[in-house]
């Protein structure tokens, strides 16, 4: 019964951390989930060595989710500035590409 409570608490903590990420771009969300999974695995292995595998997995999941979100957010920021925004620029799967702007009218712009 004690382990079920701890497992439920660890699961709720992981879900709350992954649902309220610092940034919300596509790479940040992916980084949060993958970081939580990797951190839980490593934390469980390290925690198992000291006899506290579940606590290690919970702490690892939280730290992994935070680290993954920060790395993914940095990638999103770099993509945003290099491509002229999420929906402009050259498009790479999740950015919309509209093509080049239309040419100016003959005789230039009227001011």
Q: Over its length of 111 residues, how does the chain's per-residue pLDDT go in tens digits?
A: 777 777 777 777 766 665 555 667 888 888 889 999 999 999 999 998 988 888 899 889 988 988 998 898 888 888 877 766 555 555 455 555 566 666 666 766 655
What does the pLDDT read at residue 106?
A: 72
What does the pLDDT read at residue 97?
A: 54
Angle at 90 between CA 30 and CA 27, to 5 degrees: 10
- CB atoms under 10 Å from CB of 88, counted, come to 13
Cα(110)–Cα(85) distance, integer angstroms: 29
pTM here is: 0.56
What does the pLDDT read at residue 38?
A: 92
Contact 40, 61 (CB under 8 A): yes
Nearest Cα residue to 23 out of 97, 57, 91, 74: 74
As to burial, measured by CB atoms within 10 angstroms (0-12 exposed, 13-18 middle, 19+ buried), residue 31 is buried
Reading phi first (left if > 0) and then psi (alpha if -120 to 50, else beta), residue 25 is in: beta
């Amino acid at each position: 019964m004690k382990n079920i409570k701890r497992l439920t608490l660890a699961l709720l903590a992981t879900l709350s951390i992954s649902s309220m990420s610092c940034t919300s771009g596509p790479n940040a969300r992916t980084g949060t989930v993958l970081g939580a999974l990797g951190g839980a695995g490593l934390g469980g292995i390290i925690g198992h060595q000291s006899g506290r595998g579940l606590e290690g997995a919970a702490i690892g999941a939280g730290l992994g989710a935070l680290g993954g979100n920060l790395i993914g957010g940095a990638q999103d920021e770099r993509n945003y500035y290099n491509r002229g925004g999420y929906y402009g620029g050259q498009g790479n799967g999740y950015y919309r590409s509209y093509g080049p702007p239309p040419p100016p009218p003959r005789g230039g712009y009227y001011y």
